[in-house]
Amino acid sequence: MVSGVRTSQKRPKWIEATLWETMTAYWATEEAQKRSQTYSDVRMSPREGLGHHVHFSGPKSYLQIQQDLEEELGRLVSLGEVFIKTHTRPDGTYVDQKAEKIVQTYEKNIQEKLAELEAETSIVSDGASRPRELTLDDYTAIFLQSIDKDSRGTPYGLGSLKATLPNGKRKQPGDASSFVALQEQLKEAQRKIEEQAAYNERREVEYSRAVAEQNNKIENLSLMEKYLIQTDPRYLDFVATQSATASVSSPPSTS
């Protein structure tokens, strides 16, 4: 942003006039011009005769671009896909010769790996089996074999995605811990479901027992009433007396 206004020599609104005078005065010094030329030479220096490094990631980090691609496609994307996305112009051409060479090598290595898997399958099967598909780790390994690295072994052109490559393999941040946590949550949920099912079963058994006991009592009382009616005429008089007493004891209706 600052380099842009330095080139245009037009003061933007977000830089105060006093600060702008100081900045332009410094840019005019021999020291600032030498420093600027040095930085420019570094940026534009050819890499193995293939031109300077250019990408089309814009203000987004490579990690953000990877996440956007995964959201758009609904699946995990390989490092090669992110590299191609960030090193290809809207018209489909590559941003520099180095990127083009890397992609060509990557695609060639993929085809060789697929041919290798197909050959292995044909040797151990009757021809009906299909070769296995490449996994995301396979694509990562192939891409890292295809891409250039600096003297420290840092892959070229991966930006912030370099941090996701411990030991040369792509690592999704938090995958292992998230998976373990999810497993624990599932186990806890299953335990609670089993406990609730056992509790419900005990309640059902207790309810069935209580209903059976109640029905048994009602049946016994019915038999006793039938016996008294048949054997003791005074029982009917007693029932009638109790019914009359209950009617007299009832409070009068206020309506």
**Structure tokens, 104:** 């060509």
Does residue 124 sit within a domain? Answer: yes
Distance of CA 220 to CAs 127, 225, 236, Å? 79, 9, 18
Band of residue 51 on the pLDDT scale cut at 50, 70, 90: very low
95-105 pLDDT tens trace: 888 888 888 99
Quick one: 62 and 161 in the same domain?
A: yes
- Give yes or no for residue 57 having a pLDDT over 60: no
- Give yes or no for residue 156 having a pLDDT over 50: yes
Domain of residue 91, residue span: 52-173
Quick one: 149 and 110 in the same domain?
A: yes
Band of residue 17 on the pLDDT scale cut at 50, 70, 90: confident
CB 78 within 8 A of CB 136: yes
Band of residue 117 on the pLDDT scale cut at 50, 70, 90: confident
Distance of CA 15 to CAs 1, 22, 50, 162, 195, Å? 12, 11, 38, 35, 67
Does residue 253 sit within a domain? Answer: no
Poorest-confidence range of 58-67, 70-79, 170-179, 204-213?
170-179
- Residue where the block lists tokens 């003297």: 151
Q: How many domains does the chain have?
A: 3
Quick one: 39 and 79 in the same domain?
A: no
- Give yes or no for residue 141 having a pLDDT over 80: yes
Does residue 247 sit within a domain? Answer: no
Does residue 69 sit within a domain? Answer: yes
Average pLDDT along the chain: 74
CB 66 within 8 A of CB 86: no
Does residue 119 sit within a domain? Answer: yes
Does residue 254 sit within a domain? Answer: no
The larger pLDDT score, comparing residue 236 to residue 47, is at 236
Q: How far apart are CA 118 and CA 95, in angstroms?
A: 34
Quick one: 204 and 234 in the same domain?
A: yes
Neighbours of 110 (CB within 10 A): 18
Mean pLDDT of 225-251: 77
Band of residue 208 on the pLDDT scale cut at 50, 70, 90: confident
- Give yes or no for residue 175 having a pLDDT over 80: no
Mean pLDDT of 63-89: 85
For residue 27, the Cα-to-chain-centroid distance in whole angstroms is 48
| Domain finish residue from 173, 205, 221 | 173
- Give yes or no for residue 50 having a pLDDT over 50: no
Does residue 244 sit within a domain? Answer: no
Quick one: 68 and 160 in the same domain?
A: yes
- Give yes or no for residue 234 having a pLDDT over 80: yes
Query: What sign does the CA torsion over 36, 39, 43, 45 have?
Result: positive
Would you call 87 exposed, middle or buried from its count of C-beta atoms within 10 A (0-12, 13-18, 19+)?
A: buried
Quick one: 89 and 169 in the same domain?
A: yes
Q: How far apart are CA 88 and CA 92, in angstroms?
A: 6
Q: What pLDDT, on the 0 to 100 scale, is given for residue 108?
A: 92
For residue 88, the Cα-to-chain-centroid distance in whole angstroms is 27
Quick one: 71 and 159 in the same domain?
A: yes
DSSP conformation letters of 55-105: ---TTS-HHHHHHHHHHHHTS---HHHHHHHHTB-TTS-BSSHHHHHHHHH
Mean pLDDT of 77-86: 85
**Percent of the chain's residues with pLDDT above 90:** 2
Does residue 178 sit within a domain? Answer: no
CB 156 within 8 A of CB 149: yes
